[in-house]
Amino acid sequence: MEKSRPRGGSSLMLFYINYQGEEYKVRVEQKEGQYSVSVGGEPEAPVDISFYGNDCTLLHEKGVFHANVVGDKTDYTVWIPEGNLSFSVESEYRRIVGLLRGQNLNTENNVYSKMPGKITKITAKEGDKIEKGQGILVMEAMKMENEIKALIDGQIKRICVKEGQAVETGTLLAEIAPEE
């Protein structure tokens, strides 16, 4: 099996990884065959990664790691000697395209901003019972108003923003308790 490595050139990729209900913003920059990774705004760390099919070796300042990676475009499981990690990945591009198409791509009960914008209207309040697909607030982004909808049936636990508030990508907008 042929070893796969990054080639020359440069690219920057942003991903949102959801692991055990927590979301992490991951910045990956590839320059001249090397990767540099930053998680959650932490300082970048250089890494060298090689793939052999589904197996990968990662050389990082904290050591050498071997893993088997299995997944599709969004959901992955990584097997390491200590156990396995399952997580979902969403690219920043996919988030933006989803927002522009009016799709809500959140994968959990909490509702996050998919891009920078301004909250123009809040249509639900804490304690409200809501249904999946029901609008809970309106956000203006890229000169377009977007209705942000609930992903599940449940009850609004907390509205985390105010009308007129500017928000960044990844800002928690609302918490929803699932219907029991």
Residues 38 and 107 grouped into a single domain: no
HSE at residue 87, side-chain half, CA atoms within 13 A, is: 17
**pTM score of the predicted model:** 0.47
Residues 21 and 49 grouped into a single domain: yes
Residue 112 lies in domain: 102-178
Residues 85 and 106 grouped into a single domain: no
pLDDT of residue 35: 84
Residues 74 and 112 grouped into a single domain: no
Distances 133 to 51, 57, 153, 154 between C-alpha atoms, Å: 40, 42, 8, 11
Instruction: Estimate to the nearest angstrom the gap between the alpha carbon of 124 and the chain centroid.
Output: 24
Per-residue pLDDT of the chain (180 residues; tens, 9 = 90+): 444 444 455 677 888 888 877 888 888 888 776 788 888 888 888 888 888 888 888 888 888 888 888 887 777 888 888 888 887 888 777 777 666 655 444 445 788 887 788 999 999 999 999 998 899 999 988 788 888 888 888 999 889 899 999 888 778 888 888 887
Number of domains comprising the chain? 2
Residues 110 and 53 grouped into a single domain: no
Strands, DSSP E only, in the chain? 10-19, 22-31, 34-39, 45-52, 55-60, 63-71, 75-80, 83-91, 111-112, 117-122, 129-130, 135-141, 144-149, 154-159, 166-167, 172-178
State the Rg of the chain over Cα. 19
pLDDT of residue 74: 76
Give the domain CATH number at 141.
Answer: 2.40.50.100
CB 124 within 8 A of CB 159: yes
